[in-house]
Amino acid sequence: MVAFALVGRMFSMRIKERVKTLEKFRLMLKLMQTEIEYVNMPTYEMLKNASERQELSDLFFINDCLMLIDSGNPFDLSWSQSIQKTKPPELENDDIQLILSFGKSLGTTDRDGQLSLCGMYEELIVKKAQEAQAKAKSHAALYSKLGIICGVALAIILI
């Protein structure tokens, strides 16, 4: 019974973690946009700054991406390899594809293009986060309760 309740709780937490991860990526996009706009900072430096920020410390791919770049790989390859290697289970395939496509375009255009790119992807991430938030509200409690109900049902059957 306890195992089913814990599995339900795990699914509930996974949905909530998706929202948090998307919000952190959105924050990283906002910071990058600001660094491009006011400092015209290179891509590597923006990523380095993001890795040093406490609120972004648990974004799943930044440090791996920096290590791959430091070992001589180009940015876009490092970005995609680090995301593929460390993608968290709470993110859906659409989320991963969106993050991957951002990395393919980052650093490939002029300053105005980069600002537009960050703004466009921020809007897309906001929509994804809102969808995830709505799903979390409707499904999180359901998963917890369903786990408990399945556990109770199994206990009754075994008795």
Q: What angle do CA 131, 136, 144 make, to 5 degrees?
A: 160
How many residues are listed for the chain in this entry? 159
* DSSP-assigned letter for residue 1: -
Q: Yes or no: say if 88 and 60 are a contact pair by the CB < 8 Å rule.
A: yes
Task: Extract the tokens encoding 60.
Answer: 């799943």
**Residue type present at position 100:** L
Does the structure show a pLDDT above 90 at 146? no
DSSP result, 104-157: HHTTSS-HHHHHHHHHHHHHHHHHHHHHHHHHHHHHHHHHHHHHHHHHHHHHHH
How many Cα atoms are found within 13 Å in the side-chain-facing hemisphere of 59?
29
Q: What pLDDT score does 109 carry?
A: 85
Lowest mean pLDDT among 17-26, 62-71, 109-118, 139-148: 139-148
* DSSP-assigned letter for residue 72: T
**Across residues 142-155, what is the average pLDDT?**
70
Lowest mean pLDDT among 70-79, 81-90, 117-126, 144-153: 144-153
Q: What is the CA radius of gyration of the chain?
A: 19
Residues 6+ apart with CB under 8 A from 106: 32, 43, 75, 76, 79, 114, 117
In angstroms, rounded to a whole number, what is the distance separating the alpha carbons of residues 5 and 144? Answer: 6
Does the structure show a pLDDT above 90 at 156? no
- 84-138: pLDDT as tens digits: 888 888 888 999 999 999 999 888 888 899 999 999 999 999 999 999 888 877 7
Confidence of residue 78 (pLDDT cuts 50, 70, 90): very high
